[in-house]
């Protein structure tokens, strides 16, 4: 895998440059961003421990221009619990269910985001998992008490998260490696070519992903190119995943039977000794 990525990094700029030369002087630089992924489909198997993809392309740049790349996963409801010690025991005292938040959000850039543009510029370009704001509802567990480890259920009207609450969500997602900002991770050549290595972690959620490439000049987004990426479970793990979600009752019964059988076999083995 490492050798293949090294070969891609070497050949990608050369191929783009050759295509420009063949096209003639009129096409010496693209009017908009041109970008592509080394692989637009990622298969999650039982042996998957993360992977790297190469994104490369060309743009009509000038000295001082910047590129921002956003990889965003499917929207989902994110459960956030706050624990507190009660009578010497840590228990859940608050549950928030963030509505339709990005399950995965990695930002790559040629420089620090604050050096490329200000908060308003990032907001205008919809860069950042919280750029459009998020709202949450309170949650209760299966028994309805709002605490404990049951399946959370949404209750009440959605409430817009304040900056402190959203920062707490951001820290939790960053700690899990699902939201990241990686400055100086895009490399450019001659203000025309760019490339970036996208490191996808082992806990990446499956689904349809959007990959956005934005060209910034003087703090303003001049152009944008978007492409798609599909992350899916494959092999035996995919069969188990689909069975657990499509036939949850049967999966639960099978899990109980398997646990009882495993315990009985272990007990029998120890009795023989």
Q: List pLDDT tens digits, range 43-100.
A: 888 788 888 999 999 999 999 999 999 999 999 999 888 788 787 888 877 788 899 9
Contact 105, 71 (CB under 8 A): yes
pLDDT digits (tens, 9 = 90+) for 201-238: 989 999 999 999 999 999 999 999 999 999 988 766 55
CATH of domain 2-232: 2.60.40.2550
Report field, pTM of the whole predicted structure over 0.95: no
Can you tell me the distance from the alpha carbon of 136 to that of 131, in angstroms, rounded to the nearest whole number? 15
Q: In this structure, what token pair is assigned to residue 42?
A: 């990622």
Long-range contacts of 5-12 (CB under 8 A, 24+ apart): 5/38, 5/52, 5/54, 5/197, 8/38, 8/54, 8/56, 9/54, 9/195, 9/197, 12/54, 12/56, 12/195
Among 124, 110, 127, 155, smallest CA distance to 71 is for: 127
Tokens of 83: 């624990």
Convert the pLDDT of each residue in 121-179 to its tens digit. Answer: 999 999 999 988 889 887 654 444 444 444 555 556 778 888 888 998 999 999 999 99
The candidate with the shortest Cα–Cα distance to 57, out of 116, 85, 15, is: 15
Q: What is the mean pLDDT of residues 102-119?
A: 95
Tokens of 147: 């605490």
Domain ranges of the chain: 2-232, 235-273
């Amino acid at each position: 895998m490492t050798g293949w990525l090294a070969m891609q990094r070497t050949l990608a700029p050369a191929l783009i440059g050759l295509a420009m030369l063949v096209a003639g002087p009129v096409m010496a630089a693209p009017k908009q961003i041109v970008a592509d992924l080394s692989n637009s489909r990622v298969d999650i198997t039982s042996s998957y421990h993360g992977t790297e993809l190469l994104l490369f392309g060309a743009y009509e740049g000038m000295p001082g221009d910047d590129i921002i790349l956003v990889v965003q996963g499917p929207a989902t409801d994110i459960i956030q619990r706050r624990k507190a010690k009660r009578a010497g025991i840590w228990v859940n005292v608050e549950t928030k269910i963030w509505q339709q938040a990005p399950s995965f959000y990695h930002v790559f850039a040629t420089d620090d985001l604050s050096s490329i543009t200000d908060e308003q510029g990032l907001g205008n370009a919809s860069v950042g998992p919280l750029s459009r704001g998020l709202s949450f509802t309170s949650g209760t567990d299966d028994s309805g008490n709002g605490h404990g480890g049951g399946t959370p259920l949404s209750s009440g009207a959605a409430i817009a998260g304040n900056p402190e609450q959203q920062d707490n969500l951001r820290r939790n997602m960053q700690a899990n490696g699902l939201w990241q900002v990686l400055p100086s991770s895009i490399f450019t050549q001659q203000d025309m070519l760019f490339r970036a290595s996208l490191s996808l972690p082992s806990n990446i959620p499956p689904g349809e992903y959007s990959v956005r490439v934005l060209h910034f000049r003087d703090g303003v987004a001049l152009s944008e190119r978007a492409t798609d990426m599909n992350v899916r479970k494959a092999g035996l793990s995919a069969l188990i995943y689909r069975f657990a979600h499509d036939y949850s009752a049967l999966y639960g019964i099978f899990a109980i039977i398997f646990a009882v059988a495993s315990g009985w076999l272990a007990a029998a083995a120890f009795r023989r000794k």
